[in-house]
Amino acid sequence: MKIVYLLIAFALAIGAVVVFLMVRDKGPRRSTALAVPEADDGDRRVARLNAPPISSSVGPTTMSEASAPIPQQLARPVSIAEKAESERQVQGARIRAHSQELRDSVWAPAMEAKVQKAFANLGIESRPELLKVDCRHTSCVADLQWPKANEHPPDLLGLLGGITMEVPCARFVTLDPEAGSAGVTGTLVADCEAVRFGAARVSAGERR
């Protein structure tokens, strides 16, 4: 009977050893890799600064940088002579448009008389002489001259404002680039389409 108890005790001991070995094998295993301490924020910044560039190309590396607008150069100031020449070119276009108009046998003579009266009553110190005026269907062109003996330079604003009553049209005046032997010359253009036919027709671009 004692032999039976010894065999049971021996079997239990062997079972306990087997269970112990199985539990030990299922536990966490130690890593053989070298542990590296986590870098702090300062180390990360240094690493980013010392990191090699991703691309070796020269110039913009992103689409936003490549498409960034180039600052425009400052515009060169326009001189008085350049501005005057530009205005003369625009005035020349008005005169050419006037030359294409047919003459209204009723309106044109009446308007020419008003222009002559306006210059006769012009109350400015540098009053120009009205050499010629030609009116057609909606516009008039007048050739002007400021005598050389006139002590005052041409007063263009005073001229345009002084003829408003008799010539209530859009008025444009320019001076010729060089003065003649008799004095300074210029041209006045009066666009009277809005006065004759109304602003609505002018804005619609209609012409008879």
5: in domain? no
What pLDDT sits at residue 1? 60
Using a pLDDT cut of 70, give the percent of the chain over it: 59
Looking up residue 105, the CATH number of its domain turns out to be: 3.30.980
What confidence tens digit (pLDDT) does each residue in 80-109 have? 889 989 999 999 999 999 999 999 999 999
> Would you place residue 35 in the very low, low, confident or very high pLDDT band (cuts 50, 70, 90)?
very low
What confidence tens digit (pLDDT) does each residue in 135-163 have? 999 999 999 999 887 778 899 999 999 99
29: left (phi over 0), alpha (psi -120 to 50) or beta: beta
54: in domain? no
Please, are residues 118 and 162 in contact by the beta-carbon 8 Å criterion? yes
What pLDDT sits at residue 198? 85
90: in domain? yes
48: in domain? no
131 has pLDDT over 80:
yes
Assigned token pair, 115 = 């222009």
Residue with tokens 């890593």, as numbered in its chain: 31
Please, what sign has the CA dihedral across residues 145, 148, 150, 156?
positive
CA 159 to chain centre: 35
37 has pLDDT over 60:
no
124 has pLDDT over 80:
yes
User: What secondary structure letter does DSSP report for 119?
Assistant: H
Q: Which amino acid appears at position 118 of this protein?
A: A
76: in domain? no
| Most confident stretch, 32-46, 50-64, 180-194 | 180-194
Assigned token pair, 84 = 């005057």
Domain interval for residue 125: 81-204
Between 145 and 10, the higher pLDDT residue: 145
What pLDDT sits at residue 148? 81
**37-41, 101-105, 184-188: lowest mean pLDDT where?**
37-41
What pLDDT sits at residue 152? 80
Mean of pLDDT over the chain: 75
127: in domain? yes
Q: How many domains does the chain have?
A: 1
Cβ burial, residue 163 (10 Å; 0-12/13-18/19+): buried
179 has pLDDT over 80:
no
170: in domain? yes
What pLDDT sits at residue 185? 93
184: in domain? yes
> Would you place residue 54 in the very low, low, confident or very high pLDDT band (cuts 50, 70, 90)?
very low
CB atoms within 10 A of CB 129: 14
